[in-house]
Structure 1
């Protein structure tokens, strides 16, 4: 089931694939509350910002499923204030044809393994409460639910809630 998944550091040439993958979720699902998909330039800027912060941005490939990038994961900014700089929010997306093969589990674990606990003490996942597969994915990776909010996002003419999950990388 796992195929020949390869996980590597993302490169600028991958940004077109990231834009395509994410666009699918923006247009068809509530996995993201974005209404407009970011373009390649915005993905390039995101990749640069994640790298500049010393955090991982990974690309996944499996030629048994399809040629090229089939998924990505990265640790982005959480809340954008100085006091939160040791906390990151993860983002992980796969092309729909890559789902159900264990690739999400392996990609998320690779992201956790690539994280430097000196730079990132805590990883937060903010997940639509209507995407139980993502909640289960994070639970399998060791995240614990730390809260829920209802009616905080609006998409496809309805109000949506979030599940907040946390993984500590540092020993306190």
Structure 2
């Protein structure tokens, strides 16, 4: 049965491998180079230090799924300016073989539930317009679309648009 728990440094190799898949094979991220395991460890340390959640979904014994870390989600910095410090940007990725089983919704809802309302007031999702599954996932937990920008990202020799979605943690 899968479980959700806070990520640890021991999860970073699996997190790096999951992300590498999306960097190399999709436009779910506009990164063109993967982060190394030590970079993920530093990112995890920073996210936790600023009071944001970083979670993994892990399978211990469900024979229908591979064992180990199946996905991760965290709240990161949005726009990097002090005036945005109460707004975060979510990131969520699942191993491809774990997709379509409801784990993404469960993980994203757990991330929102783990958010410290004293630290974060709003969560933004910045999603490639070529990943409708991520848009639908965010919608199922209460994100609303607030804008689109066409052809602002470039990957795999083509221009890609972005959908902006918003979730209010505190009104």
TM-score between both structures, scaled by the size of structure 2: 0.97
Which residue of 2 is the match for residue 135 of structure 1?
Answer: 135
Which residue of 1 is the match for residue 38 of structure 2?
Answer: 41
Q: What runs of 5+ residues in structure 2 fail to find an aligned partner?
A: none
Post-superposition CA distance 1:18-69 (Å, at most 9, x none) = 0000000000000000000010011011101100110000011123211110
- Deviation of the 1:78 alpha carbon: 0.3
User: Which secondary structure does the structure 2 equivalent of 1:66 belong to?
Assistant: coil
Q: After the TM superposition, which residues 1-172 of structure 1 pair with which residues of structure 2 at under 5 Å, given as runs?
A: 4-62=1-59, 63-64=61-62, 65-171=65-171
* CA distance in structure 2 between the partners assigned to 1:72 and 1:23 by the alignment: 13
Post-superposition CA distance 1:101-136 (Å, at most 9, x none) = 000000000000000111000000000000000000
- Deviation of the 1:10 alpha carbon: 0.3
User: Which secondary structure does the structure 2 equivalent of 1:16 belong to?
Assistant: helix
* CA distance in structure 1 between the partners assigned to 2:88 and 2:46 by the alignment: 13
* CA distance in structure 2 between the partners assigned to 1:45 and 1:84 by the alignment: 22
TM-score between both structures, scaled by the size of structure 1: 0.96
User: Which secondary structure does the structure 1 equivalent of 2:31 belong to?
Assistant: coil
- Deviation of the 1:87 alpha carbon: 0.3
User: Which secondary structure does the structure 1 equivalent of 2:57 belong to?
Assistant: strand
Number of corresponding residues? 168
